[in-house]
């Protein structure tokens, strides 16, 4: 059964004709409300015809139904096919909303039927080759993935149907007032760029998207976006960017660029072509075969197993569709941002330099605004303001044991997060989510960011400080590379906080106590502090440089005086430490208060807290005021 024989359905008719000649299929029905050319069904027998898919399904009972209709009809027609017991080849995007996606996924689970989504690139051996190159370490540690698409579309493209270039569409007297269409450059014409980048990272399921940032623009007189970019962070910690336009100066082959620490892999997914580039080696380039998605679906129906492009693996792409659907309308670009050209048949709008900008986005994993596009504005960190409601403005802490709360059993060990409230005026609260032994990676892997994000308010601060445990080479669940996984993990916290309207703040790690033979305090964090500083500058994130400030503080206190800040204890002095302690990482109350004061002062210097929101910055330190409530019940006995 073919639902939708016009538009892209014509490609399906050509493919069906090929498969029918090979004896693989028999077309039993065509659902199309309008007339078809006389030769449209040549070589396909005499299939039943109707404009009513449900009626046609009940009459013909097809094994497989191809849905190649306008975007906003996909959900209803796909559900009708599933309810009739038919397997599906469903064109992209599978649905126009995340709710519709979940409804269809539920119906498929209950029915046991197979759904293949029409992302043709998923049938390409080239995509698997890229993944194998990554797995084999061909370019070292993955730094990120950037996709680019520059296409030319003139006025005829938007005049071809009532839904072209629309975000919403009138549904008629018997339906809701408006239905979602979401025919934007990222969600329809260059949707493959988004989906293929996510598939390469093995992050194409709905739960694989951690955070998402969009910049949507339109040069044409349409509702939807025609020039846009996105950056998302996957739960694997990979930043993925996609930049796309339909206002290019010339058509270019879309591609996905995979950046590693030792090279780059480029996939031109419409050509199934892969290029591997590494310093000191000649580029290697090969084309690869492609499996037809309908043939693969027929094989899966016959033999079982998962199809190449199952619905579940369009989940992350549908998260992008949902973000575009619910985003504010695209920013309209004025005539100064584009020029009009014509080939003598139809006019088109061109954004000068957009092709180079899109290539730069894929190369640097940057958004248009970060690349200085004059029409895209400039990204700045949000300036949080005190809440007008009864809920107190809250400083949330995500970090390790140097910030975490401690139980009475380990007193006087203290994290600086326990001391921070002393320096905050009434009306500000602290929510300390930091946990002993966690790195930027393991905090994410254990799902600890999720409750933090649920608690974040739109004017809260999220203070992000890791680094001690990211250095643990012996533990792959915690180890990160400073300018690789460490920055990517930190970026996930940043983007997730911004997505919720909160203000992320990056903190370099607290410096350990260490002195050389000349009595000079020495740094111990290698490149980790520098990596935080670089990320803060690149992403315009407020920074509190705790490492530099604490190193200077330990220098002032000296090798002996600094012992009073750290957990240096005599045997028998505290029940929790019967043998005493010589700990140059963890703090006792004086050290916790000293570091908390550094943080408070840093927040004021960054313009994140006003003077009236702080107190006690010059007062004597009240070491006796810290308390040790119970630790979280799920806390394992390990420290930073």
Predicted local distance difference test score (pLDDT) of residue 388: 38
For the chain, the helix, strand and coil percentages under 3-state DSSP, each to the nearest 5: 35, 20, 45
Burial of 181 by CB count in 10 Å (0-12 exposed, 13-18 middle, 19+ buried)? buried
Q: Please give the Cα distance from 228 to 572 (Å, whole number).
A: 65
Predicted local distance difference test score (pLDDT) of residue 378: 53
Predicted local distance difference test score (pLDDT) of residue 391: 57
Backbone φ, ψ for residue 512 (5° rounding): -75, 165
The β-bridge partners of 227 are: 217, 245
- SS3 (DSSP) at 445: helix
Peptide bond into 412 cis (omega under 30): yes
Taking Cα atoms as reference points, which of 560, 521, 519, 523 lies closest to residue 545? 523
- SS3 (DSSP) at 273: strand
User: Do the Cβ atoms of 615 and 424 come closer than 8 Å?
Assistant: yes
Question: At 393, which helix (H) or strand (E)?
Answer: strand 393-399
| Positive or negative: CA dihedral 274, 278, 281, 282 | positive
pLDDT tens, position by position, 92-148: 999 999 999 999 999 999 999 999 999 999 999 999 999 999 999 999 889 889 999
Backbone φ, ψ for residue 216 (5° rounding): -115, 130
Measure Cα distances from 146 to 42, 132, 382 in Å: 43, 18, 26
Q: Please give the Cα distance from 180 to 171 (Å, whole number).
A: 9
Q: Please give the Cα distance from 31 to 265 (Å, whole number).
A: 42
DSSP string, 59-92: HH--SEEEE-S-GGGHHHHHHHHHHTT-EEEEPS
Q: Please give the Cα distance from 87 to 65 (Å, whole number).
A: 6
Taking only Cα atoms into account, the Rg of the chain, rounded to an integer number of angstroms, comes to: 29
Low-confidence ranges of the chain (pLDDT < 70): 171-177, 378-391, 629-640
Taking Cα atoms as reference points, which of 178, 148, 211, 493 lies closest to residue 325? 178
* Helix ranges (DSSP H) in 436-563: 440-445, 449-455, 487-499, 528-539, 546-561
Other Cβ atoms less than 10 A from the Cβ of 610: the count is 12
Predicted local distance difference test score (pLDDT) of residue 454: 87
- SS3 (DSSP) at 469: helix
| Positive or negative: CA dihedral 467, 469, 470, 473 | positive
Q: Please give the Cα distance from 277 to 281 (Å, whole number).
A: 7
Question: Please, what is the Cα angle at 356 between 352 and 359, to 5 degrees?
Answer: 145
Query: Left (φ > 0), alpha (ψ -120 to 50) or beta: where does 137 sit?
Result: left
pTM, entire model:
0.63
Q: Please give the Cα distance from 592 to 428 (Å, whole number).
A: 19
Number of helices and strands in the chain (H, E) = 17, 26
Tally of residues, the chain: 640
pLDDT tens, position by position, 400-459: 999 999 998 999 999 999 999 999 998 899 999 999 999 998 898 788 898 899 889 888
């Amino acid at each position: 059964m073919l639902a939708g024989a016009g538009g892209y359905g014509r490609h399906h008719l050509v493919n069906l004709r090929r498969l029918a000649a090979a004896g693989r299929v028999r077309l039993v029905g065509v659902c199309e409300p309008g007339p078809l050319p006389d030769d449209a069904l040549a070589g396909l027998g005499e299939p039943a015809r109707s404009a009513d898919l449900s009626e046609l399904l009940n009459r013909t009972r097809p094994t497989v139904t191809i849905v190649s209709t306008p975007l906003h009809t996909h959900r209803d027609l796909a559900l009708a096919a599933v309810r009739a017991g038919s397997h599906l080849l469903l064109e992209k995007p599978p649905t126009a909303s995340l709710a519709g996606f979940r409804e269809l996924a539920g119906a498929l689970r209950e029915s046991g039927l197979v759904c293949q989504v029409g992302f043709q690139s998923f049938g390409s051996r080239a995509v698997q080759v890229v993944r194998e190159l990554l797995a084999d370490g061909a370019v070292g540690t993955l730094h990120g993935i950037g996709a680019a698409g520059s296409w030319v579309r003139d006025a005829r493209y938007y005049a071809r149907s009532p839904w072209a270039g629309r975000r919403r569409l009138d549904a008629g007297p018997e339906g809701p007032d408006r239905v979602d269409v979401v025919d934007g450059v990222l969600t329809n014409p260059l949707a493959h760029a988004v989906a293929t980048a996510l598939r390469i990272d093995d992050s194409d399921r709905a739960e694989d998207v951690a955070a998402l940032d969009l910049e949507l623009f339109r040069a044409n007189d349409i509702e939807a976006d025609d020039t846009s970019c996105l950056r998302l962070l996957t739960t694997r910690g990979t930043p993925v960017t996609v930049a796309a336009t339909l206002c290019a100066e010339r058509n270019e082959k879309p591609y996905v660029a995979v950046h590693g620490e030792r090279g780059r892999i480029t996939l031109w997914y419409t050509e199934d072509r892969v290029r591997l580039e590494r310093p000191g080696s000649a580029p290697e380039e090969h084309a690869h075969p492609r499996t037809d998605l309908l043939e693969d679906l027929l094989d899966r129906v016959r033999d079982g197993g998962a199809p190449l492009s199952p619905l579940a693996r369009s989940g992350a792409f549908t998260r992008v569709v949902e973000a575009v659907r619910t985003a504010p309308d695209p920013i309209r670009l004025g005539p100064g941002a584009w020029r009009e050209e014509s080939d003598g048949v139809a006019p088109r709008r061109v954004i000068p330099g957009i092709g180079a900008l899109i290539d730069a986005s894929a190369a640097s994993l940057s958004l248009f605004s970060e690349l200085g596009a004059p029409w895209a504005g400039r990204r700045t960190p949000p300036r949080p303001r005190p809440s007008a409601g009864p809920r107190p403005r809250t400083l949330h802490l995500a970090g390790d044991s140097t910030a975490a709360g401690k139980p009475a059993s380990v007193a006087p060990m203290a994290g600086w997060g326990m001391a921070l409230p002393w320096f905050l005026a009434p009306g500000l609260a602290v929510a300390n989510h930091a946990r002993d032994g966690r790195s930027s990676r393991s905090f994410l892997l254990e799902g600890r960011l999720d409750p933090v994000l649920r608690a974040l308010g739109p004017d809260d601060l999220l203070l992000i400080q890791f680094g001690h445990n990211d250095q643990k080479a012996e533990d792959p669940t915690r180890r990160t590379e400073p300018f690789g996984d460490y920055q990517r993990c930190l970026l996930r916290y940043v983007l997730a906080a911004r997505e919720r309207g909160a203000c992320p703040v990056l903190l370099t790690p607290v410096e350990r106590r260490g002195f050389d033979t000349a009595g000079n305090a020495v740094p111990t964090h290698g490149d980790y502090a520098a990596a935080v500083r670089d990320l803060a500058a690149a992403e315009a994130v407020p920074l509190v440089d705790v490492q530099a400030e604490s190193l200077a503080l330990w220098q002032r206190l000296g090798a002996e005086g600094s012992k009073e800040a750290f957990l240096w204890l005599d045997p028998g002095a505290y029940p929790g430490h019967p043998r005493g302690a010589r700990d140059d990482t963890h703090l006792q109350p004086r050290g916790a208060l000293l570091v908390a004061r550094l943080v408070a002062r840093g927040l004021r210097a960054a313009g994140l807290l006003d003077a009236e929101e702080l107190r006690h910055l010059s007062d004597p330190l009240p070491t006796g005021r810290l308390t040790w409530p119970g630790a979280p019940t799920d806390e394992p006995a390990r420290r930073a």
